[in-house]
């Protein structure tokens, strides 16, 4: 059998690789890696495989393959580049029969695999032919040449053609019994399809005066077409030659002139799940140049940013450039000494330029969707409106920009979801981020963040469990980066600790598939809920004196967080837009605030 797969980097680089299943041992062997094989057939002795191979230049060939090693034993000549369909071996494995399609039509070819000699058994004509197979001195095949699909045969010595069956609604997929005495076929009836057997006796076949040169019209097609509006116009168009239609000019395609083409708008959620973006997207016809312009919202710091991003994907690594202007909102210790009154929140704006490379790989090979992304970026950042009394002396500002490097590795393996699943019911995710300032400037900072999650089956159908954990380390004496992992969801402010460990458990389930509609304005598909628990411990080093007037001793202080709550969400479409939206409310208890909080949600992100 042939299995279709895509290249890990280029989604349109499609391969069709062969797999052989040993029915005795159950062993599955993969043959012909990174090839384009189709219509494979195993020889009766089990030693060879014949398949159609097509290269990137659309050159077609029949190839003989070793069924054990996958090595190509022989490539048969195809000087006219005919497209071969459904090749089949003879019972002796000494001959091959196949349908050959060319610009002039179809024919059946008998091929000697050792020499490559081919013989057309039927004239090349506009007649549909399918499912050929050798039996004795005949080749059986399917054809609708009488107006209804039936089984036909041709004697490859005399080229005499015969009609083997005359079923009123169609006969397909003939198969000869091992003793060569009976014929099994797919008989189509008014009550459905049935497998039937017939005696295999050439003396009962109807000899045809000559091979068909065209398919007869289907008996019901004319009557049905005549009843259609505009039937006369359609009939005239179908009868006219293809060349009578309009001719379109051909001109050179210039990628740069067509680099920008706005084609959609929508919502994109960040890999960590902490941020969401909405805006316009542009993509050229070759899918190499992409542009995004829009707004993003960060759930952890509860800030907005305007972003413009340009991505060129015509090379193996993707080239990215992104410009962002937005806000920051963080709380941390500023003087790191007694008295402990410097844990303060502050807000400021920043302008950031990010440029670098990204390598996205799609690794899906089974029912699990798998993807791996590795990236490295240069980060240039300037800060504005930073409260002067809270600024570290050397902290980044309009005249002291930040020069940093950001690298990340993301991996996801998730079980494909059904339409009614509210979350993956199996799989795992990993996101690792490293940011540092390696250029030897006065401003120094670093951050390491790792977050992983596991998806498990729930207690009932369409239910899912997610276990997630993460750790973040920061050297932030002079500057603190944005969070690299998730912060407890019920907290209203983000505290930038030197070290932060987090864990969470989520249980997601559908509440109802309601299918409510409000005219053309609103269509609600589903209601769902997620019960969760978030746990975190953050710590930072501050200076403490053990005794009054004693020396300052660096001491690590800890803060624990425990959140419990539930999200209630509705999945809906607005104004018949194809992309569904999700919104709802979160009700949670925060042990840090010692209070219940109610928060609006959009796309599972707190507003």
Write down the pTM of the prediction: 0.74
What average pLDDT does the segment 2-26 reach?
A: 77
Top pLDDT among 233 and 293 is at 293
Which residue has tokens 């972003």?
A: 307
State residue 238's pLDDT score. Answer: 67
State residue 445's pLDDT score. Answer: 85
Nearest Cα residue to 537 out of 568, 561, 572 = 561
> Model confidence over 297-327: pLDDT tens digits?
887 788 889 999 999 988 889 999 999 999 8
**Encoded tokens for 265:** 């708008």
Asked whether residue 357 carries a pLDDT value surpassing 90, the answer given is yes
CB 457 within 8 A of CB 465: yes
Asked whether residue 345 carries a pLDDT value surpassing 80, the answer given is no
State residue 60's pLDDT score. Answer: 93
Nearest Cα residue to 433 out of 403, 406, 402 = 406
Asked whether residue 457 carries a pLDDT value surpassing 90, the answer given is yes
The residues, ordered by sequence, that sit 6+ positions from 521 with a Cβ below 8 Å of its Cβ are: 574, 575
State residue 545's pLDDT score. Answer: 66
Asked if the bond preceding 241 is cis, omega within 30° of 0, the reply is: no
CB 475 within 8 A of CB 434: no
Q: Is 87 exposed, middle or buried (0-12, 13-18, 19+ CB in 10 A)?
A: buried
> Model confidence over 416-436: pLDDT tens digits?
999 899 999 999 999 999 999
CB 110 within 8 A of CB 102: no
State residue 302's pLDDT score. Answer: 82
What's the mean per-residue pLDDT of the chain?
85
């Amino acid at each position: 059998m042939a299995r279709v797969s895509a290249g890990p980097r280029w989604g349109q680089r499609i391969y069709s690789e062969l797999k052989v299943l040993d029915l005795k041992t159950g062993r599955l062997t993969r043959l012909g890696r990174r090839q384009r094989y189709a219509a494979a057939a195993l020889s009766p002795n089990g030693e060879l495989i014949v398949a159609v191979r097509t290269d990137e230049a659309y050159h077609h060939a029949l190839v003989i393959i070793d069924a054990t090693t996958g090595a190509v034993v022989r490539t048969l000549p195809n000087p006219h580049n005919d497209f071969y369909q459904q090749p089949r071996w003879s019972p002796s494995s000494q001959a091959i029969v196949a349908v050959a399609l060319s610009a002039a039509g179809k024919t059946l070819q008998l091929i000697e695999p050792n020499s490559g000699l081919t013989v057309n058994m039927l004239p090349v004509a506009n007649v549909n032919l399918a499912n050929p197979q050798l039996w004795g001195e005949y080749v059986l095949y399917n054809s609708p040449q009488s107006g209804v699909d039936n089984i036909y045969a041709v004697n490859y010595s005399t080229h005499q053609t015969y009609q083997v069956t005359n079923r009123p609604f169609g006969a397909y997929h003939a198969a000869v019994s091992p003793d060569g005495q009976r014929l099994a076929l797919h008989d189509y009836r008014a009550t459905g399809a049935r497998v039937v057997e017939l005696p295999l006796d050439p003396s009962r076949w109807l000899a045809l005066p000559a091979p068909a040169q065209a398919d007869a019209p289907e008996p019901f097609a004319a009557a049905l077409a005549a009843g259609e509006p505009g039937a006369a116009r359609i009939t005239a168009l179908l009868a006219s030659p293809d060349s009578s239609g309009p001719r379109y000019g051909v001109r050179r395609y210039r990628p740069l002139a067509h680099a920008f083409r706005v084609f959609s708008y929508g919502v994109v959620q960040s890999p960590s799940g902490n941020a969401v973006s909405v805006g316009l997207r542009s993509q050229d016809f070759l899918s190499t140049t992409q542009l995004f312009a829009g707004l993003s919202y960060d759930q952890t710091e509860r800030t907005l940013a305007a972003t413009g991003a340009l991505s060129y994907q015509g090379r193996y690594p993707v080239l990215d450039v992104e410009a962002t202007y937005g806000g920051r909102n963080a709380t941390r210790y500023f003087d790191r000494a007694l008295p402990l009154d410097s844990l303060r929140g502050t807000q400021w704006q920043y302008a950031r330029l990010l440029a670098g490379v990204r390598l996205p790989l799609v690794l899906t090979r089974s029912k699990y969707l798998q993807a791996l992304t590795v990236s490295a970026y240069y980060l240039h950042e300037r800060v504005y409106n930073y409260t002067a009394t809270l600024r570290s002396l050397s902290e980044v500002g309009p005249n002291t920009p930040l020069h940093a490097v950001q690298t990340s590795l993301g991996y996801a393996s998730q079980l494909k979801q059904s339409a009614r699943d509210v979350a993956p019911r199996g799989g795992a995710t990993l996101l690792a981020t490293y940011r540092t300032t390696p250029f030897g400037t006065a401003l120094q900072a670093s951050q390491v963040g790792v977050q992983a999650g596991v998806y498990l089956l729930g207690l009932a159908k369409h239910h899912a469990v997610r276990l997630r954990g993460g750790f973040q380390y920061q050297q932030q004496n002079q500057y603190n980066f944005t969070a690299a992992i998730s912060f407890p969801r019920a907290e209203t402010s983000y505290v930038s600790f030197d070290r932060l460990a987090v864990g969470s458990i989520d249980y997601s389930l559908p509440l109802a598939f309601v299918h409510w509609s409000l005219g053309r304005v609103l269509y609600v598909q589903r209601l769902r809920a997620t019960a969760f628990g978030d746990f975190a411990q953050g710590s930072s080093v501050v200076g403490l004196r053990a005794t009054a007037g004693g020396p300052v001793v660096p001491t690590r202080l800890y803060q624990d967080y425990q959140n419990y709550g539930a999200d209630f969400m509705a999945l809906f479409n607005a104004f018949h837009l194809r992309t569904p939206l999700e919104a709802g409310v979160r009700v949670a208890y925060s042990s840090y605030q010692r209070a219940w909080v109610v928060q609006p949600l959009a796309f599972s992100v707190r507003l």
